[in-house]
Chains A and B, each alone.
Chain A
Amino acid sequence: QLQLQESGPGLVKPSETLSLTCTVSGGSISSSSYYWGWIRQPPGKGLEWIGSIYYSGSTYYNPSLKSRVTISVDTSKNQFSLKLSSVTAADTAVYYCARLRLEQLAFDYWGQGTLVTVSS
């Protein structure tokens, strides 16, 4: 059974960089049938796609966040990572990593999510 697990600091100071890692187990991140993605959800609000990456390293970002986002992949560790720079309180959210099925661009497996709070 595929599992995804987010990890990283739960508290980030304003203007600093948020860094999270997603570890994939029970399957290979190098599968040609999937992208891997990050989605966030501010408390009490809806879902926002942040960006996605293919195992080859090709990345696709939400245009509204593109200038601050970097997603990378480490196939040797079966992990992919998110960096979001210059954070503000508006970036406080639950951050999810998920597998994105290539054919329908549907997120079919999700991590449990991790709350990141931006505060001094």
Chain B
Amino acid sequence: DIQMTQSPSSLSASVGDRVTITCQASQDISNYLNWYQQKPGKAPKLLIYDASNLETGVPSRFSGSGSGTDFTFTISSLQPEDIATYYCQQYDNLPPGITFGPGTKVDIK
């Protein structure tokens, strides 16, 4: 089974700061990596698919990069509404299988 790790587990940053979260897979997953935002009491929301593609309607301050085992999620200028927990999610196609990372909680300093 593929294991996913995320770091840090939590962070605190100021409005306007650049925020970076990393996600690491236990083996090569190519670009089969998606990112979600979950606000308290709400369902997750898809932000990035296939490592670097911005979902329609998602603000451009969110971005993703990476391939293989190491991936990065970036908020270029943190806004108050970005307070949430962010999850990476890897997928296998054959057979279809899905694993979420443990999450990174982002707060405002």
A45 to B: closest C-beta gap in Å: 9
Quick check: is B28 within 8 A (CB to CB) of the other chain?
Answer: no
- Interface residue tally for chain A (C-beta within 8 Å): 23
Kindly count the residue-residue contacts between A and B in the assembled complex, taking CB atoms under 8 Å apart.
65
Contact yes or no, B103 A105, CB < 8 A = no
Q: Are A104 and B44 in contact (CB under 8 A)?
A: no
Among B34, B53, B95, B96, find the residue whose CB has the most chain A CB atoms closer than 10 A: B96
Establish whether residues A49 and B43, one from each chain, have CB atoms under 8 Å apart when the complex forms: no
Q: How far is the CB of B107 from chain A (nearest CB, A)?
A: 16
Interface string of A51-80 (1 = CB under 8 A from B): 010000000101100000000000000000
Q: How many residues of B contact A (CB 8 A)?
A: 27
Main secondary structure of the interface of B (DSSP, over half): strand
Chain A residues with CB below 8 A from B49, complex form: 101, 104, 106
Closest to B34 in A: A106
Residues of A within 8 A of B66 (CB): none
List chain B positions with a Cβ less than 8 A from chain A.
1, 32, 34, 36, 38, 42-46, 49-50, 53, 55, 87, 89, 91, 93, 95-103
Residues of A bordering B, CB below 8 Å: 35, 37, 39, 46-49, 52, 60, 62-63, 96, 98, 101, 104-108, 110-113
